[in-house]
Amino acid sequence: MMQKTIKYIGYYDIQENANEKRIFSLAAKTKMDYIIHSLNQNGLCIDIVSMAQSFEKKYYPAKKTSLNRGNNLILFPSFPTANIITKFIKHISPNINLFLYLVMNVKKNETIMVYHSLGYRNTMAIAKRIVGFKIVLEVEEIYQDIVHCSNALRKKENESITKADKYIFSTGLLNERINIECKPFIILYGTYYAEKKYDERFDDQKTHIVYAGSFDSRKGGVDSAISVSKYLDDKYHVHIAGFGSSNEKLRVLQMIDDVSMQTNCLISFEGALHGEKYSKLLQKCHIGLSTQNPIGEYNNSSFPSKVLSYMANGLRVVSTRIKVLETSEINDLIYYYDQNCPEDIAEVVKHINLEDVYDSRARLKKLDTKFTNDIQTLLSEVSK
């Protein structure tokens, strides 16, 4: 029996095309990969239609690549930016190609998946009006919550989201805020993969705490994590891992040096870690810190991905008290602090009993099963 295929629009590429240097978000690709896996589990094949463009001074043709499990990747041509004319072509060609693809390849009442993006929202709206297809919109965040913008721009983004027929939201708060017509929806906080167990621990009888995330001082997470060390003693060891610009990295290293002079708690700089090295560091630790600025507007529309990363590796999570976590299905597994100050965070850390029963991996496996079933229901007219 021939498997059904669903189209999935977003910014996406694979390692085999690395030489083309097409621009896309690794975090978005990871989330898309998880949804694709869940769709495959339900017997669907996926045509990933990617808007990713290269900014190399070279032309890369359109191509279709066969992936595993019957999936395909469709890339549009990417033009060079040698002069004003080619720059203009490069600017308009992705949306022209997307429009042509949609009107030529999507049927009336066909359901397609779309990753929410400001880059092609108008194209999607026009093509939907002409063809009459249905959209399941994956909304990870409201972009206007992240950048300062006018009320008019906020309104346009919200209007583009409300034109979808069904939704995959990253938080229940997004549904409450946007889905005023009560259209069908499901929630996906992030990827629910439980990471492979390495069974390695630091053998020094200390409690090991890790912060893994951005070094951006505006988000405040790494600063709070380092400052917590001032209020912990020699029974603790704080590990700082993450990413940022060269200046941000130097600032973090200097802050670690300064704080180390004021405490008996050890602080280690681990740098940017990926894959197995990242998982092994996390699994050697006991507690993960999700110390971000609680007053940022993005906290009301996006789910902190590092929380799931910690849980996938079996860590207990200490987090600022934000509504997206309190209203989630992992709320009972979070150790919250209420005052955004290092003393309060340290007190929460010190009161965690590591002997208590705790299995975050088991919870993620339940959420994985639930999402696989939920997305099958959401796409019932496609999978029939």
DSSP string, 368-380: HHHHHHHHHHHTH
Please tell me the pTM assigned to this model: 0.89
CA-to-CA distance for 94 and 121, rounded, in angstroms? 12
CA-to-CA distance for 76 and 64, rounded, in angstroms? 9
Tell me what the pLDDT averaged over the chain comes to: 91
User: Do residues 161 and 18 both lie within one domain?
Assistant: yes
User: Does 379 fall in a domain?
Assistant: no
The predicted-structure confidence for 165-202, as pLDDT tens digits, reads as follows: 999 999 998 999 889 999 999 999 999 999 999 988 89
**Beta strands across the sheet bearing 207-214:** 266-271, 236-243, 207-214, 287-290, 316-320, 334-337
- The long-range contacts involving 84-91, CB below 8 angstroms and separated by at least 24 positions, are 90/53
Which residues are CB-contacts of 71 (< 8 A; sequence separation ≥ 6)?
36, 40, 45, 46, 47, 48
Task: Say what the pLDDT of residue 298 is.
Answer: 54
Task: Say what the pLDDT of residue 220 is.
Answer: 75
User: Does 194 fall in a domain?
Assistant: no
Task: Say what the pLDDT of residue 294 is.
Answer: 66
User: Do residues 79 and 155 both lie within one domain?
Assistant: yes
SS3 300: helix
CA-to-CA distance for 285 and 206, rounded, in angstroms? 10
Please check whether residue 312 is in contact with residue 194, taking contact to mean a CB–CB distance below 8 angstroms: yes
User: Do residues 19 and 125 both lie within one domain?
Assistant: yes
User: Do residues 184 and 215 both lie within one domain?
Assistant: no
DSSP string, 218-286: TT-HHHHHHHHGGG--TTEEEEEEEE--HHHHHHHHHHHHHHHTT-SSEEEEEE---HHHHHHHHHH-S
Task: Say what the pLDDT of residue 57 is.
Answer: 85
User: Do residues 223 and 115 both lie within one domain?
Assistant: no
The predicted-structure confidence for 73-124, as pLDDT tens digits, reads as follows: 999 999 988 788 888 888 899 999 999 999 999 999 999 999 999 889 999 9
Work out the average pLDDT over 1-13: 87
User: Do residues 148 and 20 both lie within one domain?
Assistant: yes
User: Do residues 177 and 218 both lie within one domain?
Assistant: no
Degrees, nearest 5: CA angle 267-270-273: 150
The tally of domains found in the chain comes to: 2
The predicted-structure confidence for 198-241, as pLDDT tens digits, reads as follows: 988 899 999 999 999 989 877 778 999 999 999 999 999 999 99
Q: How confident is the model at residue 356 (pLDDT cuts 50, 70, 90)?
A: very high
Domain that holds residue 342: 207-361
DSSP string, 186-235: EE--S--PPPPP-----SSSPEEEEEEEE--TTT-HHHHHHHHGGG--TT
Produce one character per residue of 114-139: b if its CB has 16 or more CB atoms within 10 Å, e if not: bbbbeebbebbeebbeebebbbbbbb
The predicted-structure confidence for 298-314, as pLDDT tens digits, reads as follows: 556 678 889 999 999 99
Please check whether residue 13 is in contact with residue 24, taking contact to mean a CB–CB distance below 8 angstroms: yes
User: Does 165 fall in a domain?
Assistant: yes
Question: What DSSP element (H or E) covers 334?
Answer: strand 334-337
Stronger pLDDT, 269 or 2, i.e. the higher one = 269
Amino acid at 383: S
User: Do residues 39 and 108 both lie within one domain?
Assistant: yes
Work out the average pLDDT over 260-280: 95
Q: Is the pLDDT of residue 8 over 90?
A: yes
SS3 72: strand
Work out the average pLDDT over 140-154: 68
User: Do residues 56 and 88 both lie within one domain?
Assistant: yes
User: Does 199 fall in a domain?
Assistant: no
**CATH code at 333?**
3.40.50.2000
SS3 55: coil
Please check whether residue 225 is in contact with residue 265, taking contact to mean a CB–CB distance below 8 angstroms: no
The predicted-structure confidence for 9-34, as pLDDT tens digits, reads as follows: 999 999 999 999 999 998 899 999 99
Amino acid at 66: S
Q: Is the pLDDT of residue 137 over 70?
A: yes
Q: Is the pLDDT of residue 384 over 50?
A: no
Q: Is the pLDDT of residue 145 over 70?
A: no
Stronger pLDDT, 46 or 55, i.e. the higher one = 46
User: Do residues 310 and 339 both lie within one domain?
Assistant: yes
**Beta strands across the sheet bearing 4-10:** 63-66, 72-75, 44-50, 4-10, 111-115, 134-139, 166-169, 185-187
Task: Say what the pLDDT of residue 200 is.
Answer: 87
Closest CA to 350 of 227, 239, 231: 231
User: Does 234 fall in a domain?
Assistant: yes
What are the φ/ψ torsions at residue 221 (nearest 5 degrees)? -65, -50
User: Do residues 165 and 61 both lie within one domain?
Assistant: yes
User: Does 135 fall in a domain?
Assistant: yes
User: Do residues 143 and 71 both lie within one domain?
Assistant: yes
CA-to-CA distance for 227 and 217, rounded, in angstroms? 13
Please check whether residue 372 is in contact with residue 38, taking contact to mean a CB–CB distance below 8 angstroms: yes
- Give the Å distances, CA to CA, from 304 to 168, 252, 290, 291: 16, 21, 8, 10
The domain boundary residue, chosen from 188, 223, 255: 188
User: Does 43 fall in a domain?
Assistant: yes
- Give the Å distances, CA to CA, from 146 to 18, 86, 149: 29, 31, 9
Task: Say what the pLDDT of residue 382 is.
Answer: 42
Task: Say what the pLDDT of residue 262 is.
Answer: 96
